[in-house]
Structure 1
Amino acid sequence: MIDELAETGAAQGFEGHESVWYLRLFSEMHARYGFTADEFNTNDPDKTLEILRKYSQTDSVDPKDFPNRVWLDPARAGAHSKVLPHAHVASDFLTVSGEFLNVLDQFDLGRFASWPMTLLKKDKETPFEGEWFALWIGNQKRGFLREKSTSFEVPPYEDTKWLSIPNSGALDGDFVMDASVKDGPDIWTDSTLSRSLMLSDRLHAALNDAGLLRRLKVLRCPVQA
């Protein structure tokens, strides 16, 4: 799939440009597996909101504030595959395999935290194979160039018109980034591009070479000098 996307980007005139990569996870139903946690199944909805509020912080977090055991609830599933990809969203948490995390650890992760996550099948007893870790990423870069990009929507509300919401049909080359994104950590979010998760070119190359991006949707984002 990545080769096909690269060809699309070249056809749009982006060959030779430096790039970063948009990993489609947070906003995609194909990446959301129907996990839930006991902490989210109480009669106290405020507790759930508080957990999610803490997870959305960008300064620092304490992994002890978050679930470390989630179980599959088919009623909540977006994706249904029995074999989990190396990166996905379990409940509301970015979750990766041990192999994925080992590659990440070789790069500049900036404000970053990880903790072991037990992923259980719907019987709440049988674990999914492998080691899994939930991730928190506090790095933010505002590099999305709306005026040079396509395949996004702008919210109709005046107080959120600064936000761009990617279309589900976006293709390689549709999102263009400012050169400033090349500086700093190799993994980040862009607060102006809704629910984005961005990778530097070198991190993307390492994950791809390790075969860890298979079954994931990744878009090439040209960097505008």
Structure 2
Amino acid sequence: MAQTRDAEVWASRAFMDSTRVKDFVADPLPTGMTLGEMAKLNETGEPMSAEHFPKEIFARKFGPPIKTQADLVRAAGVVVVSAKCADILRQFDLGKSSLYPIRLFQYDRKTSVEGEYFSLNVGERKDAFLPSETLNLDVFDSGKMRMAPNLHDDDIALGPTALEGPDLWVNPPLINMFFLSDRLTQALRAAKMSRVFGFRKCRIIEKG
């Protein structure tokens, strides 16, 4: 086995970051699907239409007014991105992934949270993850896998197929993780979104 050095793929630890989770709720979805079921499908790279996502979400608790949200948060089971982030994502190959408008409201359900936001449906998956070459990996009886919270560059190993196809994807059975091409990562970095996404470089492994 040999590591390639001329191409890079990045993992985001945003889904592992508890500070990305914001306390919002949503009314029942028209599909009858629960928010938890929607979130699980999104985590596995299932393409979903707009009716699978709430159009509005509301602060769960009364308190000080909620300020403009970061460029990526998780709220009411939804991956919520800012308009600025959505504009960057649209410039790249998202494959079957989609962005749907969503409005955020204060506890009174009338006052909007400042900013424009979109739900991100991660609708692409790749079969590139190499568990046997990956460091600090937790494996569950269910077959699902999860990286340790203190994720470092080069902990995750991927095969060369990670370099093909869309610029944003997930790779079941690895959970709480999504991947980005180098060109998309650099665009988000240039927009000063590195802290929000928590990029970690992956190793690309090919057979020698």
Residues 6-53 of structure 1: per-residue CA shift (max 9 Å, x gap): xxxxxxxx894532111123343221111111227xxxx975566556
Distance 1:131 1:100 in 2: 10
Letter in 2 for 1:206: A
Q: Does 1:205 align with 2:194?
A: no
Matches within 5 A, 1:55-204: 55=42, 58=45, 60-74=47-61, 82-155=67-140, 157=141, 160-161=142-143, 163-204=144-185
Equivalent pair of 1:17/1:222 in contact (CA under 8 Å): no
Q: Does 1:24 align with 2:13?
A: yes
Q: Percent identity?
A: 26
State the TM-score, normalized to the length of structure 1: 0.77
Which residue pairs with 1:78 in the alignment?
Answer: none
Distance 2:115 2:33 in 1: 33
Distance 1:46 1:114 in 2: 19
Q: Where do 5+ consecutive residues of structure 1 fail to align? A: 1-13, 76-80
Q: Give the direction of change, closer, same or farther, for the CA distance of 1:213–1:124 in structure 2 (3 Å limit).
A: farther
Residues 70-106 of structure 1: per-residue CA shift (max 9 Å, x gap): 112259xxxxx94522011121111111111111111
State the TM-score, normalized to the length of structure 2: 0.83
Distance 2:199 2:86 in 1: 18
Distance 1:97 1:132 in 2: 5
SS of aligned partner of 2:110: coil
Deviation (angstroms), 1:215: 3.6
Count residues in correspondence. Answer: 199
SS of aligned partner of 1:117: strand
More helix by share: 1
